[in-house]
Amino acid sequence: MGVLRVVFFGPPGAGKGTQARLLEQKFGACQVSTGEILRKAARERSALGKQAADYLDRGDLVPDQVMVELVAERLQEPDYQAGFILDGFPRTIAQADQLEQMLKDSGLPLESALCIQASNDVLIKRLSGRRTCQKCGHLHHTIFDPPARPGLCNRCGGELYQREDDREEMIAARLGVYESQTAPLKEYYRKRGLLKEIDGVGSVEEVGKRVLRAVT
């Protein structure tokens, strides 16, 4: 296969981040996480970073145009010439349109758009069981990866807590946002012949094999 250039999308809890990291390790393509981009931009206080930080500090969503420009800036860095995996971007049709034009102008067209899917019941079970270490940020799961000592992180011994957005009522709201704003990307990429739908149910290894079949 050639240079890996893919978009990863799907509902919260589908396993996008995990599978994107595995692809990064296997193919040497850089994972482009919107969360990582925003943190880096805010930390470096570039002109775009300051704009993004202003929105984040107010608790507002970063506008499409700012996000597109941040992604474009990141993709210009030398390590991304070896390929990229966009994780969490685009989230809307408007972002996808701008991304398509940006990549066309850069001569870096997408190879595929991978949509990892699972039922809402599975997603709620995965997300509501997550527990995060207050000290080191390591994730545990009450069912799939319980801590050896209840309430304490296996890695550093820090106290585990449930993030607000991992509570069931918040998960339902996040899934609703996905359905209204991001799920339409399936039809968008299907029309362009780029869509690969992947069953996200199963172990990390099982889903990983499906992802590899989709990109090779």
- Residues with a known catalytic role: 16, 91, 130, 163, 174
Beta carbons of 198 and 116 less than 8 angstroms apart: yes
Q: What are phi and psi of 92, to 5 degrees?
A: -135, 165
Dist CA 72 CA 58 (whole Å): 24
Q: What are phi and psi of 59, to 5 degrees?
A: 80, 15
Dist CA 174 CA 131 (whole Å): 18
Instruction: Determine the longest span between alpha carbons in the chain, in angstroms.
Output: 53
